[in-house]
Structure 1
């Protein structure tokens, strides 16, 4: 009960302070085939963008407020007949890795992997998804929520 009371007090003070809501979710509208190392994955189909902090043209979230944020990344890949392939993606904050997804050389089944990161951001800090290592041919599945990126403000400072 004490924890619930503390949580309610926190929510009440947040509402009284007029804190903006910051939350986004975007998916790939189409598959991306063989992206190169360093490529920023642009999740171009915005589902939610409260606070307008996610840019679906460049694929970058820019923090509007000081605070603690949660980010999640889910990526899927269809079966791949090539013998050996692997694909690495990083969740990045200002050019520093904060999350990692690895799609291995499975040839018979769909692969679906995800990661979550909880980080403190200052205004203008940026978060995005970037290709790291690619071996062989690979595809990130688009459409129908196969691959998506999202995040939200947990609490402002």
Structure 2
């Protein structure tokens, strides 16, 4: 595929060059400065022309165009801007490429640059940039304030939780210890009721029922020490949590042994209102009657937030 461009002389809108000073300055990243811009054109090429324009400065220096954009060759003036006449033309070496022949080879256009007007143009551009930067700073500041408010809200929330946690650590203390078994020969599925309460912090243990009811959601540790008596009998006890077996201990006495001991310990998760107790398994359990021989105890390890 090929493109063919057909034109008469310079391919501009009217066959002539028109030099002018753009009303708005341009910011150049390479210099990090605003520049007054001169334009020369306007060309009808679809793409960049196969030649460039030369500019003659007021001091007589010849410089090439800085860039080509939207049909015009542009020249970005250095700062500070030198006032005077700037002329754009097609260099002689590019005359044939630009389709210039005969008397039409000297095609040029001149624009007079006022250095005061140029400084005003630069100041206006810088002022617009300052306003734009200020608007962006205000927007960034609002965003930072919103983020800070959100952060403060999260900090306040965590602080509240920590304060509540510390308060709970001081106030939500639960522990109990009970001894003195009410019935030394309980029946199958009976609850072991220990009637003497030595400690009942949080009032969770009920000596009338033998059951501990959790006042808070949390992790609890429960322990029991049991002593059996009489040959041919056993100690067979479940630790029950809300009606479900959590742990089981079992020991049998030999014919020549009248005493035996068993113990259990468990760390379990218990919801507020759920009960924990010791329950007999079998019907040949027999416990030693000394009041301190059997015990049931527990304490709150940590409560759930």
TM-score with structure 1 length normalisation?
0.80
Aligned to 2:35: none
Structure (1 or 2) with the greater helix fraction: 2
Taking a change above 3 Å as real, the CA distance of residues 29 and 39 of structure 1, as seen in their structure-2 partners, is: closer
Matches within 5 A, 1:75-114: 75-78=226-229, 80-81=230-231, 84-107=232-255, 108-114=257-263
Conserved? CA contact 1:31–1:141, under 8 Å: no
Q: Secondary structure at the match of 1:64?
A: coil
Q: 1:128 to 1:30 in 2, by over 3 A?
A: closer
User: 1:56 aligned to 207, 214, 227, which one?
Assistant: 207
Alpha-carbon RMSD across the aligned residues, in angstroms, is 2.0
From the superposition, tell whether residues 37 and 31 of structure 1 become closer, same or farther in structure 2 (CA, over 3 Å). closer
User: In structure 1, what is the Cα distance between the partners aligned to 2:251 and 2:197?
Assistant: 24
Structure 2: stretches of 5+ with no match in the other structure: 1-162
**Offset of residue 140 of structure 1:** 1.2
Question: Which sits farther off after the overlay, 51-60 or 19-28?
Answer: 19-28
Q: String of CA shifts for 1:21-44, please: whole Å, max 9, x gaps.
A: 1000001255612x1111011011
4+ residue stretches of structure 1 with deviation over 6 A? none
Contact 1:32/1:140, CA 8 A, preserved across alignment: yes
| Selected match of 2:192 from 10, 31, 41 | 41
Partner of 2:176: 24
Q: Give the counterpart of 2:271 among 114, 122, 142.
A: 122
Larger relative contact order (C-alpha < 8 A, sep ≥ 6)? 1
Tell me the matched-pair count.
140
Distance 1:31 1:124 in 2: 26
Where in structure 1 are there 5+ consecutive unaligned residues? 1-11
Task: Answer with 1 or 2: which has the greater Rg.
Answer: 2
Structure having the larger proportion of residues in strand: 1
**CA distance, structure 2, for counterparts of residue 50 and residue 61 of structure 1:** 12
